[in-house]
């Protein structure tokens, strides 16, 4: 076991297929935004523990009191901050509090993992190129809520998940990595969602590493060019 695609392409397709654990980038200081369950957060923690992803999670921010992600973060001894969106006057005010919290915890990459709030330009600008999201469809198909249900209703044969950079429109922005899974006859929204989520847990750590590698490479290139 090592890189994402080594166990074959029979149950999933992955793009790009790369040996992501060999990528180079500085150790990342992550802030995770989650609204509920937090299984992607745990997949990221597990990849860090296995030394596959070079990163540390400095803080988990959640907007829903009592969400399962709090329990999961406690298990991994990761600090949590509740920013309940119901207590903020506007999306901008919530995002300002998020940026302040991320700054306090010295975060350099922001990982949206089941974050169910629309983001504002303020958050996007504060972490330009370092703000990622995962969505349970092969974007640009089926953005928004209930992606697995949308895929079943459209009768597509392939579903999947996408990690992408975040832009203002919901579930939009340059794609980093995708994995595809078959839609099987008899699938329910739950069974399809579960099959997709197995792949989410594989690709999110890999996509973070890939985005960090691309970012570091760009930075190096910009430095060289400024020295010429």
Residue closer to ligand GRF (CB basis): 156 or 216: 156
Tell me if residue 10 falls in helix, strand or coil: coil
Q: Going edge to edge, which strands form the sheet with 28-34?
A: 13-15, 175-182, 158-165, 131-135, 109-112, 28-34, 55-62, 80-82
Q: ∠ at Cα 59 (71, 81), nearest 5°? A: 65
When asked if residue 199 is in the footprint of ligand GRF (CB under 6 A), the reply is: no
When asked if residue 181 is in the footprint of ligand GRF (CB under 6 A), the reply is: no
Please identify which residue in 36, 143, 173, 182 interacts with ligand GRF, judged by CB under 6 A: 36
When asked if residue 114 is in the footprint of ligand GRF (CB under 6 A), the reply is: yes
When asked if residue 141 is in the footprint of ligand GRF (CB under 6 A), the reply is: no
Please name the residue ranges forming H helices in the chain. Answer: 39-49, 68-75, 91-104, 121-126, 147-154, 189-227
Within 150-179, which residues bind ligand GRF (CB under 6 A)? Answer: 161
Residue pair 32/61 in contact by the 8 Å Cβ criterion: yes
When asked if residue 113 is in the footprint of ligand GRF (CB under 6 A), the reply is: yes
Q: How far apart are CA 191 and CA 183, in angstroms?
A: 9
Within 39-68, which residues bind ligand GRF (CB under 6 A)? Answer: 39-40
What's the min distance (Å) between Cβ of 206 and ligand GRF? 15
Residue closer to ligand GRF (CB basis): 95 or 200: 200
Residue pair 208/109 in contact by the 8 Å Cβ criterion: yes
Residue closer to ligand GRF (CB basis): 117 or 216: 117
Stretch that binds ligand GRF, among 29-37, 149-157, 173-181, 218-226 (CB under 6 A): 29-37
When asked if residue 205 is in the footprint of ligand GRF (CB under 6 A), the reply is: no
Please identify which residue in 28, 48, 200, 211 interacts with ligand GRF, judged by CB under 6 A: 200
Answer yes or no: 135 catalytic: yes
**The two structure tokens encoding residue 211:** 């985005």
| 117 contact partners, CB below 8 Å, separation of at least 6 | 35, 63, 85, 91, 94
For the annotated catalytic residues, the residue numbers are 135
Residues at the contact surface with ligand GRF, assessed by CB under 6 A: 34, 36-40, 113-114, 134-136, 161, 197, 200
């Amino acid at each position: 076991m090592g890189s994402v695609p080594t166990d074959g392409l029979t149950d999933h397709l992955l793009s790009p297929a790369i040996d992501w654990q060999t990528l180079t980038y500085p150790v990342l200081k992550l802030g995770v935004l989650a609204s509920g369950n937090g299984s992607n957060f745990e997949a990221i923690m597990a990849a860090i523990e296995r030394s596959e992803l070079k990163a540390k999670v400095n803080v988990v921010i959640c907007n829903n009191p009592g969400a399962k992600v709090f329990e999961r973060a406690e298990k991994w001894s990761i600090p949590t901050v509740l920013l309940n969106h119901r207590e903020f006057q506007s999306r901008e005010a919530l995002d300002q509090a998020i940026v302040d919290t991320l700054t306090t915890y010295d975060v350099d990459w922001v990982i949206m993992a089941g974050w169910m709030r629309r983001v504002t330009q303020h958050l996007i600008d504060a972490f330009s190129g370092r703000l990622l999201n995962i969505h349970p469809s092969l974007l640009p198909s089926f953005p928004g809520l209930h992606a697995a249900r949308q895929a079943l209703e459209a009768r597509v044969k392939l579903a999947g998940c996408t990690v992408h950079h975040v832009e203002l429109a919901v579930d939009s922005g340059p794609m980093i990595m995708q994995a595809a899974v078959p839609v099987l006859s008899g699938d329910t929204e739950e069974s399809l969602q579960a099959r997709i989520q197995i792949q989410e847990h594989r690709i999110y750590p890999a996509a973070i590493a890939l985005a960090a590698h691309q970012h570091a490479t760009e930075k190096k290139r910009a430095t060289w060019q400024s020295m010429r």
